[in-house]
Amino acid sequence: MANTTREFKTIVQILRNSLEDIWNDLWLMLVCNLFWLCAWLLVIPGPPASLALSKVGNRIAHGEVVDLKDFWETFRHEWGVAWRWGGIFLAVLLVLVANLVITGSFQTSWKPYLQGLYLFLIICWLILQIFVLPFLWEQEKMSVRQALHNSWAFILGNPEFAILLSILLILIYVLGTIAFLLSVIFGGVFAACVGNRAVINRLEIYQKSHSEV
């Protein structure tokens, strides 16, 4: 119980700090998020825009000064890494969505359970991506494969933290959508800030625990 309370307080602090990150530079966050939205509408520039958004969140989480130049430079120069991630992300997502749609045509009593399973997997896959891009910036090499592995290890090694963070994040998005579509206007950059702060928090705890051994 004490551990759950401690984890909850840490997550609330991460979410609060991420909201403050947005509030402290509303113009930068608004421009980056709107560009990110437009990029995904065009699909091709979507992954590079996501990587650039994550870079902004990473630098802010490390206490560095950020401007639009950081976003544009990452967007322009990291298409290879971005699409290695984007290709895997979209391929898995399309397979899961296709299976969700296909099972909807089944005329069996277990159709709801199958659809529930695929919907759950889609949610898990989307949540995983919150941590994948931040890990790219924290690794020695920008390896998408390693970032995926680290993200799974992150969730499996911190299940309570990951579940609580996911629940609160989804709740904030639901409330933000009701409140003047704030989740649309700032949703991407908020996820980038939360993901980076969460990953950095766990890495700091991991490094501290190993330095004391």
How many Cβ atoms from other residues are within 10 Å of residue 40's Cβ? 16
* Confidence (pLDDT) at 17: 96
CA dist 125 and 84 (Å) reads: 16
Q: What is the pLDDT of residue 212?
A: 58
pLDDT (0 to 100) of residue 210? 64
Task: Evaluate whether 115 touches 103 at the Cβ level (below 8 Å).
Answer: yes
State how far the alpha carbon of 27 is from the alpha carbons of 36, 38, 60, 164, 189, in Å.
14, 17, 15, 30, 12
Amino acid 211: pLDDT: 64
Q: Which residue, 43, 42, 74, is CA-closest to 57?
A: 74
The per-residue pLDDT string of the chain (213 residues; one tens digit each, 9 = 90 and over) reads: 767 888 899 999 999 999 999 999 999 999 999 999 999 999 999 999 999 999 999 999 999 999 999 999 999 999 999 999 999 999 999 999 999 988 888 777 888 888 899 999 999 999 999 999 999 999 989 999 999 999 999 999 999 999 999 999 999 998 887 766 778 889 999 999 999 999 999 998 888 776 655
Residue 106 is given by DSSP the state: -
Residue 71 — φ and ψ, nearest 5°? -65, -50
* pLDDT at residue 37, as a whole number: 96
Task: Give Rg (Cα) of the chain.
Answer: 18
* Nearest in space to 56 (alpha carbons), one of 24, 83, 88: 24
